[in-house]
Structure 1
Amino acid sequence: MTALISRILLCLLLVCSFAGEARADAGPAVVQAGRVTDEAGLFTVEQKRVLSEKLERLEQSTRHQMVVVTVSSLGGAEIGPFTTALGNEWGIGRKGHNDGVVLLVAPQEQLAQISVGVGLEAVLPDELCQSIMNERMIPRFREGDLFGGVDAGVDALIERLD
């Protein structure tokens, strides 16, 4: 009887842990709108054009794909897994190379994330991406300049990838 209860508890524990993993990727449904998907409405038409042109030039010169995404809220999702899942769902980066980059901003939670495909991790390691956010993006965000922060982050990433 004790063995049966132990097995039931173990099964419940496993089910709960898988449910937690599934929730990590859950979040708002975001439909890709090109290289810049501004669901939070942070950017002007001109700002989106400027970012899109930079990202297009990057892709033409290096073949690496990068997208910028804003969402009003993550809806309870964790930003890291959500950003990675979004990049995978959208197929950012070349198949077989996994060389895409997703820069995501969630203003309601005051969070940003740079997720990099495995094929670019040597060029854009996590420490460098965090440094770009800390030194180039966050200071501008704190001044209320969300576009300036994203633009500076995109420029820093492009400098590294070119």
Structure 2
Amino acid sequence: MKQVRRTLAGLALAAVLLTGSVFAAVPAAPEGSCVLDEANVLSERTEQAVNDLTIALSEACGAEIAVLTVDFTGASSTADYAAEALNSWGVGDRDKNNGVLLLLVIGAEDYYCTVGTGLEKDLPPQKIDDLLWNNLEEGFAKGDYDAGVTAFANAMYDELCDIYGVQPDQSTGGSVAPAPERPSFLARIGGFLTMVIVLLVLIALVVLGSILHPVRYVRTRWFGYSYPPIPPRRHFYGGWSRRPPPP
């Protein structure tokens, strides 16, 4: 009888563990932060850096960058788990739907980045893959998750600033610094016309100078024409002579 009870208890425990691993629920959004380090692989400095970037972006254009680390995702794929976290957390502006969530699955040695529908056009899958490979992959492969997450967050921050044409000033708590204005079409045309006018004036001066001061060429014996004209020479036998002008 005791053996049967032990067997049933073992089966019950295995069922609980299996259920927990299969139905791994997305954790609730953290309060006062955009980083939830369930796997305990990130430092406070990294979390603060990502939070600073998100605060600046949120005040400038509504976009937000969130980071979630877990050990496993259960039966859910990494992509589905990241999408569920993005939606349940409500990352980004509600109307623009411009949130970005980076998921690190440490136990499965996998990661994924998903974006809201408002950014799907500006951040297609190929663009996101490039950002992950160029910024996160090296640190993730080495186990240096702080370096990988920081590099990716900075790269995504720059991309979002370019997309929305903003330059948030992080030193002032996220106030927006005006983006440099591009020269208008009239300004570019004015600069081109100025260059053309200067060139025409130079050409006119050269032509006018040639009219007022014509160049006289003198044929020499060996080298054709020369300038300036060769002055008269005194021959050894006396007298002055000037070479004839060109025909």
Task: Tell me the secondary structure at the aligned position of residue 96 of structure 2.
Answer: coil
- Cα distance in structure 1, aligned partners of 2:73 and 2:24: 5
CA deviation profile, 1:32-52 (whole Å, cap 9, x unmatched)? 112111111111222211221
Give the partner amino acid of 1:146.
Answer: Y
Task: Tell me the secondary structure at the aligned position of residue 59 of structure 2.
Answer: helix
- Cα distance in structure 2, aligned partners of 1:147 and 1:28: 25
- Quote the residue 1:28 is aligned against: 25
- Quote the residue 1:140 is aligned against: 139
- Quote the residue 2:129 is aligned against: 130
> Conserved in 2, the CA contact under 8 Å of 1:40 and 1:70?
yes
- Quote the residue 2:106 is aligned against: 107
Give the partner amino acid of 1:101.
Answer: V
Which of these two proteins has the greater Rg computed from alpha carbons?
2
Deviation at 1:126, TM superposition (A): 0.9
- Quote the residue 1:45 is aligned against: 44
Task: Tell me the secondary structure at the aligned position of residue 95 of structure 1.
Answer: coil
TM-score between the two structures when normalised by the length of structure 1: 0.79
CA gap 1:157/1:86 in 2 versus in 1, 3 angstroms: same
Identity within the alignment, %: 24
Deviation at 1:76, TM superposition (A): 2.8
Structure 1 runs (4+) greater than 4 angstroms displaced: none
Task: Tell me the secondary structure at the aligned position of residue 81 of structure 1.
Answer: helix
Q: How many residues align?
A: 138
Give the partner amino acid of 1:51.
Answer: V
Task: Tell me the secondary structure at the aligned position of residue 121 of structure 2.
Answer: coil
- Please say if 1:70 is aligned against 2:69: yes
- Cα distance in structure 2, aligned partners of 1:146 and 1:128: 21
Give the partner amino acid of 1:110.
Answer: E
> Conserved in 2, the CA contact under 8 Å of 1:27 and 1:75?
yes
Structure 2 unmatched runs, 5+ = 1-22, 162-247
Task: Tell me the secondary structure at the aligned position of residue 104 of structure 2.
Answer: strand
- Quote the residue 1:3 is aligned against: none
TM-score between the two structures when normalised by the length of structure 2: 0.53
- Cα distance in structure 1, aligned partners of 2:93 and 2:130: 25
Q: Is the helix fraction higher in 1 or 2?
A: 1
